[in-house]
A and B are shown apart, each in its own frame.
Chain A
Amino acid sequence: MLNTFSVILEALPYLLKGAVVTSGIVIGAMGIGLVLGVHMAVGQVYGNRAFRWLVNLYVWFFRGVPVLVLLFLFYFGLFTLAGLNLSAFAASILVLGMTTAAYQSQIFRGAILSLPRGQLQAARALGMSDTKAIISIILPQALRFSIPGWSNEYSIILKDSALAFVLGTSEIMARSHFVASRTYQELPLYITAGCLYFILTWLGVRALLKLEAKVRIPGYSH
Chain B
Amino acid sequence: MTESKEPILRVENICKILGGKKILDSVSFSLQRGELKVLIGPSGAGKSTLLQCINFLIPPDKGQVWLEGTEIRSRRKRDLYAFRQQVGMIFQDFNLFDHLNALENVAIALRKVKKMNRQAARDRAVAELDRVGLGDKLGLFPAELSGGQKQRVSIARALAMDPKIMLLDEPTSALDPELIGEVLSVIRDLARGGMTMILATHQIGFTRTLADEVLFMENGIIIERGLPAELLSPNAGTRSRDFCSRLDELYAEDE
Residue B216 CB within 8 A of the other chain: no
Q: Which of A129-184 contact B (CB under 8 A)?
A: 129, 132, 136-137, 140-141, 144
**Within 8 Å CB of B112, what residues of A?**
128, 132, 136
For the complex, give the distance between the alpha carbons of A127 and B158 in Å. Answer: 11
Residue A220 CB within 8 A of the other chain: yes
**Within 8 Å CB of A125, what residues of B?**
55, 57, 84, 87-89, 158
Stretch at the interface among B4-12, B95-103, B130-138, B240-248: B95-103
One digit per residue, 1 when the CB lies within 8 angstroms of any chain B CB and 0 when it does not, for chain A 108-135 equals 0000000010110111111111001000
The reply to whether B143 and A218 contact each other, CB–CB distance below 8 Å, is yes
Q: Nearest Cβ in chain B — how far from A14, in angstroms?
A: 46
One digit per residue, 1 when the CB lies within 8 angstroms of any chain A CB and 0 when it does not, for chain B 98-140 equals 1101000000110011000000000000000000000000001
**Within 8 Å CB of B236, what residues of A?**
none
The reply to whether A218 and B84 contact each other, CB–CB distance below 8 Å, is no
Contact of B99 among A121, A122, A141 (CB under 8 A): A141
Residue A219 CB within 8 A of the other chain: yes
The reply to whether B93 and A217 contact each other, CB–CB distance below 8 Å, is no
The reply to whether B108 and A136 contact each other, CB–CB distance below 8 Å, is yes
Contact of B141 among A116, A127, A140, A217 (CB under 8 A): A217
The reply to whether A121 and B113 contact each other, CB–CB distance below 8 Å, is no
Contact of A126 among B77, B84, B93 (CB under 8 A): B84
For the complex, give the distance between the alpha carbons of A85 and B109 in Å. Answer: 47
Q: How many residues on B have C-beta within 8 angstroms of the other chain's C-beta atoms? A: 33
Q: Nearest Cβ in chain B — how far from A54, in angstroms?
A: 24
The reply to whether B99 and A127 contact each other, CB–CB distance below 8 Å, is no
B residues neighboring A (CB under 8 Å): 52, 55, 57, 77, 81-82, 84-85, 87-89, 91, 93-99, 101, 108-109, 112-113, 140-144, 154, 157-158, 161
A residues neighboring B (CB under 8 Å): 116, 118-119, 121-129, 132, 136-137, 140-141, 144, 217-221
Q: What are some 20 contacts across the A-B interface (CB < 8 A)?
A: A118-B93, A118-B95, A119-B95, A121-B95, A122-B89, A122-B154, A125-B84, A125-B158, A126-B85, A126-B158, A127-B81, A127-B85, A127-B113, A129-B81, A137-B97, A137-B108, A217-B141, A218-B101, A219-B141, A221-B143
